[in-house]
Amino acid sequence: MKWSMLLIFTALAQCHNIKREAPSCPGLCSCSFSPPGAEVECSQGFLRDFSVVGFPSNTTRLSIQSTNLSRITAHHLSTVPLLKSLQLYHTNLTGLPADLLKDIPHLNSLDLTGNQLVHLPPNVFSCYSLQSLVLKNNLIEEANAEWFSDNSNITWLDLSGNLLTGVSASLFHKMPNLENLDLSYNKLQDLPPNALTNLHQLESLNLAGNKLVSLKPTTFTHNLKLSQLFLQENQLQVLPTNLLKGLQHLELLMLNQNQLQNLPRGLLDEKKSSFRVVLAGNPWVCDDKMDYLWKWLTAHAENVFFLEEVTCEGSGVLKQQIVSLSGTELGLNNA
């Protein structure tokens, strides 16, 4: 009997210790726990203030989304010093303090999608460990090189859905390791000739949904690792013959929904067999200047997505698939 009572008291004591040592979780948030570290998600719409109480000391991922949080400081984040991933989606943030990341030295991913950010202070993203930065769908009019330290370790930068009218070469000169750059759906009208010269590791570049009318022949000369290039939904009228020269790794080229009437001879030559292109939605003029594109489409039909939508516009032949035409119909001699 004594032994049974002792076992009962021991079990009760153990339960008490387990309860006492149970991990904490801040109010209005949910937490999950695993050996690598805790993950905390806060998505209550009426969350207005960042609580510095209740966060697990080993929090490595924090996601605050669709809330009315309008301010966050370095003091707030000092409660989660092991943080590696921080997501602040649609939280009504209008600004960030310059020292925001000073107490989270292990942070490698920061996502600020869907806020009201316009102007940001110098060095705000100078955290040495930061590799992925998403500033999508804010109100940023100018991306400032002063936000970053020299030789930044960022490999992924997303500035899509902002109000950028241009980008400076000095911005990307600080990012020699950049692999993915998204500038889509801004108001870019031009790219400086040397804007991308320091991006030797760049693999994916998204310039879709801007107001680009033309590109310099040397725009991508230094981006020899490019495998994905998104140029759709711009106002491109003419492309330089050497625009894609040297891009031996290019696998996807999006040119749809522009104002192209023909392509210069040689533009798509020497591409690998896995190369794919989208050309639909352009006002292609089917005359003798269509010689190069017509022959290329005929020989590489399998490399073209939505081939049936690559059609003629203008006088003469209307809305007819280019590959279905004969050389005679295009006015080509000896075709």
Q: Is 145 helix (H, G, I), strand (E, B) or coil?
A: helix
Q: What is the pLDDT of residue 270?
A: 86
Q: Over the stretch 254-310, which tens digit does the pLDDT of each residue have?
A: 999 999 999 999 999 988 899 999 999 999 998 888 999 999 999 999 999 999 999
Phi, then psi, of 181 in degrees rounded to 5: -130, 125
279 in Cβ contact with 292 (< 8 Å): no
Going from the N-terminus, what domains does the chain have, and what CATH number goes with each?
24-139 (3.80.10.10), 264-335 (3.80.10.10)
* Cα gap 310→321, rounded to integer Å: 6
63: pLDDT confidence band, cut at 50, 70 and 90? Answer: very high
Answer whether residue 10 shows pLDDT above 90.
Answer: no
* Cα gap 310→291, rounded to integer Å: 15
Q: What is the pLDDT of residue 16?
A: 42
303 in Cβ contact with 277 (< 8 Å): yes
Q: Over the stretch 238-251, which tens digit does the pLDDT of each residue have?
A: 999 999 999 999 99
Which amino acid would we find at residue 313? E
Specify the DSSP class assigned to residue 229: E
212: pLDDT confidence band, cut at 50, 70 and 90? Answer: very high
Q: What is the pLDDT of residue 8?
A: 43
Q: Is 292 helix (H, G, I), strand (E, B) or coil?
A: helix
Name every residue whose Cβ is closer than 8 Å to that of residue 85 and which is 6 or more positions away in sequence. Answer: 60, 61, 62, 63, 107, 108, 109
148: left (phi over 0), alpha (psi -120 to 50) or beta: beta
Q: Would you state the torsion angle of the CA atoms of residues 313, 316, 317, 323, taken in this order, to the nearest 10 degrees?
A: -90
* Cα gap 118→140, rounded to integer Å: 4
Q: Residue 214 has which token pair?
A: 């033309």
Tell me which of 17 and 105 has the higher pLDDT.
Answer: 105
C-beta neighbour count of 185 within 10 angstroms: 19
Rounded to two decimals, the pTM is 0.89
Q: What is the pLDDT of residue 334?
A: 60
Q: What is the pLDDT of residue 9?
A: 43
277 in Cβ contact with 305 (< 8 Å): yes
Q: Quick one: average pLDDT of 86-93?
A: 93
> What is the radius of gyration, based on Cα positions, of the chain?
27
Q: Quick one: average pLDDT of 154-182?
A: 96
22: pLDDT confidence band, cut at 50, 70 and 90? Answer: low
Q: Quick one: average pLDDT of 66-81?
A: 90
Q: Quick one: average pLDDT of 123-151?
A: 96
Answer whether residue 20 shows pLDDT above 70.
Answer: no
Task: List Cα–Cα distances, 237 to 54, 185, 213, 259, in angstroms.
Answer: 57, 18, 6, 5
Answer whether residue 321 shows pLDDT above 90.
Answer: no
Tell me which of 272 and 317 has the higher pLDDT.
Answer: 272
